[in-house]
Amino acid sequence: MPETSLTSPSPTLILGSTSRYRRELLERLRLPFSVSPPDIDETPQPGEAPAALATRLALAKAWAVARKFPDAVVIGSDQVADLNGEPIGKPGTHERAVAQLHSMSGQSVVFQTAVAVVCAARGFVRQGLAPVRVRFRTLADAEIESYLLAEQPYDCAGSAKSETMGIALLDAIESDDPTALVGLPLIRTCAMLREAGINPLLHSGTPT
């Protein structure tokens, strides 16, 4: 397949997400895109492993939007924290965030971040998983309380925002796709977009 040229038209790109973190990450690529919220049920299936849950939801989000805009290239993504095989999602409340950080204190947690790229009209489907292993420090109660009051990361899986003050909760991060922990693995996303006909280095512009 020939390399996409500078004059080749780029397909419409849509981010199927309500996450401001994913929107901010995708904006780094300087690609024109729009955002459409996916309407899906995110309830885990009985016995579903965290990696399988994240992968299924990322694909479901992409397809939910792709069915409405079949000619567009749609990105879906999902993240589930994995503590010893148990899924940890967004806490939603302060009390649940406290409980999550207590359970992860001194533990290694794998943040399973999945991404899917779909174009319904062309039957194009790609998906991938970017696991990130995070080792939490042994956290004092006062540290947990201070962090949560400062950041209020109640919309983040695992109650930790590593891109800001949450980095102080951690001992180590191991990943081959650095933005995966924030919510969208851009290395894998770029590879899928190139296959879909959108090259970030050739189609960059002003994000919408």
Domain ranges for the chain, please list them: 13-196
78 assigned to active site:
yes
Catalytic residue among 78, 82, 141, 176: 78
> For residue range 44-101, what is the model confidence (pLDDT) as tens digits?
999 999 999 999 999 999 999 999 999 999 999 999 999 999 898 889 999 999 999 9
**What does the block give as tokens for 108?**
């290694």
Q: Which helix (H) or strand (E) holds 99?
A: helix 94-104
Q: What is the mean pLDDT of residues 168-175?
A: 97
Distances (CA, A) of 3 to 6, 73, 180, 201, 204: 10, 18, 27, 12, 16
pTM: 0.88
More confident residue, 143 or 163: 143
Contact, 60 vs 40, CB < 8 A? Answer: yes
SS3 208: coil
Q: Is the CB of residue 74 less than 8 Å from the CB of residue 119? A: yes
* Of 186, 70, 87, 201, nearest in space to 125 by CA: 70
DSSP E strand boundaries for 120-197? 124-136, 170-174
Segment 15-21 shows an average pLDDT of: 94
Neighbours of 103 (CB within 10 A): 17
For residue 48, the tally of other CB atoms under 10 A from its CB is 15
| Contact in structure between 84 and 54 (CB atoms under 8 Å) | no
pLDDT of residue 206: 47
Reduced to 3 states (helix: H, G, I; strand: E, B; else coil), residue 68 is coil
pLDDT number for residue 9:
65
The share of the chain scoring above pLDDT 70, in percent, equals 94
CATH for 13-196?
3.90.950.10
**DSSP label at 149?**
H
> Other C-beta atoms within 10 Å of 158: how many?
28
Residue 189 scores a pLDDT above 70: yes
CB-side exposure of 162: number of CA atoms within 13 Å? 21
What pLDDT is stored for residue 205 in this prediction? Answer: 64
